Amino acid sequence: MMTKAARSLNEASLSYRLLYKYARFVFKLFYTQLVIKDLENVPSDKPLIFASNHQNALMDALAMLFAANRPVFFLARADLFKRPFIARILTFLKIMPVFRPRDQVDIVSENKEVFHETARLISLGQPMGILPEGTYTPDKRLQTLKKGICRMAFEAAEATGFAMDLHIVPTGLDYSDYHRQGSDLLIKFGKPIKVADYYDLYKSNPNRALTVLRDTLADSIRNLMINIDIPEEYVFIYNYSQEKTNKYLDEHHFRDKEARLTERFNKMKQESERLKLIYRNDIDAYLQLKTSRPDLQDKIVKCEPKVSVIKKPGNVFSVLITLLALVLNFLPFILSKHFSSGVKDPQFVGTMKYGTSLVLFPIWYLLLLLILIPVFGFIAGLSVVILAIVTAVLYLKYS
């Protein structure tokens, strides 16, 4: 008999669908520009596993979830499930535990049940999202992928007698800034990898099949992201590529924001790949270039383009919207900033800002209603709350 937790993972309840829509709405507000490219690469009638690079804590999983525009279940480290209340929330959100050696359990037996349930859900048509690097990095580079995603894919196929036409969709995520609300996010879907192409190899040599599929997936994800994979030269290559990219954007004055974001990614990737090629093929030329720019060698230089798109000058209306938004929503803005400033891990700052905004703003609007309606009446109180919501949306999206 299916357990309650399994049913939660298998079904999209009304409460889940409502939360999904609300969380997706807030997620889109969190980024000034959220651009999804090549969605046509995602099959609509096939069992799917989404796999992306991992650089921004929980925001990476949410990016895949909302870009896919459908319920997706995920795997997360098992230690998050230690508290029953948190475990219930994670299960409601379609997140399953996966065990690691540091969890001090028999990971083979514990994960066997997890992988079995994963295979069952995939076979029923539930898409799965996974961050196959296993841990995040603040750098724009792909770490070595774990083989777990490939093992789950083959086990899911094996459970159906290798009749499942399972596809892995490589996904690339690129943030203009991990921490700042109002930054940009580009999500790129690559050509799906047909796992059936590796079934014969898996039957004859499982370990070889796991390695080949993992390496194929890694190459696909690298093509969809900025991948500066020379650790000792990361700072210089990143800074130099960013400077060239910003200069390019300033000169071309893109009027279309989506085109500007796409070109920003393309130019940054082109410049970083060019520098990597020089480093590997002509080290003398690379060192000469690096020596000429000592200002780009010590630390990451965060600088946005001076002119990213053509904008109209500020006006009285925009100033008024900003003031109203900050006055009518002062408490959730202050609290969100306070909670995020206390986060020790920089890669969790964006997640904390998003999470606190998701919770604090509805509570604030409910409190406003409870305070204003008894004093000023229903119409006046509701009008103030609506004004607070509208100005907050305009401020977050366009300020």
Instruction: Please tell me whether residues 145 and 208 are part of one structural domain.
Output: yes
Instruction: Please tell me whether residues 215 and 91 are part of one structural domain.
Output: yes
Instruction: Please tell me whether residues 375 and 328 are part of one structural domain.
Output: yes
Is position 304 within any domain? Answer: no
Is position 303 within any domain? Answer: no
List the chain pLDDT tens, one digit each, 399 residues.
344 445 556 666 788 888 889 999 999 999 989 999 999 999 988 999 999 999 998 899 899 999 988 888 988 777 778 778 777 777 777 888 877 666 666 666 677 778 778 888 888 888 999 999 988 888 999 999 999 899 889 988 988 899 999 999 999 999 988 888 888 999 999 999 999 999 999 999 999 999 999 999 999 999 999 999 999 999 999 999 999 999 999 898 887 888 999 999 999 999 999 999 999 999 999 999 999 999 999 888 765 544 334 344 457 888 889 999 999 999 999 999 999 988 888 888 888 899 999 999 999 999 999 999 999 999 999 999 999 999 999 988 876
SS3 labels along the chain: CCCHHHHHHHCCCHHHHHHHHHHHHHHHHHCCEEEEECHHHCCCCCCEEEEECCCCCHHHHHHHHHHHCCCCEEEEEHHHHCCHHHHHHHHHCCEEEECCHHHCCCHHHHHHHHHHHHHHHHHCCCCEEECCCCCCCCCCCCCCCCCHHHHHHHHHHHHCCCCCCCEEEEEEEEECCCCCCCCEEEEEECCCEEHHHHHHHHHHCHHHHHHHHHHHHHHHHHCCCCCCCCHHHHHHHHHHHHHHHHHHHHHHCCCCHHHHHHHHHHHHHHHHHHHHHHHHHCHHHHHHHHHCCHHHCCCCCCCCCCCCCCCCCCCHHHHHHHHHHHHHCHHHHHHHHHHHHCCCCHHHHHHHHHHHHHHHHHHHHHHHHHHHHHHHCHHHHHHHHHHHHHHHHHHHHHC
Instruction: Please tell me whether residues 332 and 354 are part of one structural domain.
Output: yes
Instruction: Please tell me whether residues 249 and 189 are part of one structural domain.
Output: no
Is position 308 within any domain? Answer: no
Range of the domain at 244: 231-296
Is position 302 within any domain? Answer: no
Instruction: Please tell me whether residues 326 and 259 are part of one structural domain.
Output: no
Of the three residues 199, 222, 245, the one that is the final residue of a domain is 222
Instruction: Please tell me whether residues 215 and 236 are part of one structural domain.
Output: no
In total, how many domains does the chain have?
3
Of the three residues 180, 204, 222, the one that is the final residue of a domain is 222
Which CATH number characterizes residue 99's domain? Answer: 3.40.1130.10
Instruction: Please tell me whether residues 285 and 147 are part of one structural domain.
Output: no
- Rounded to an integer, what distance in angstroms lies between the CA atom of residue 43 and that of residue 47? 8
Instruction: Please tell me whether residues 326 and 265 are part of one structural domain.
Output: no
Instruction: Please tell me whether residues 242 and 137 are part of one structural domain.
Output: no
Instruction: Please tell me whether residues 255 and 385 are part of one structural domain.
Output: no
Is position 163 within any domain? Answer: yes
What's this model's pTM, rounded to 2 decimal places? 0.88
Instruction: Please tell me whether residues 370 and 279 are part of one structural domain.
Output: no
Is position 306 within any domain? Answer: no
Is position 14 within any domain? Answer: yes
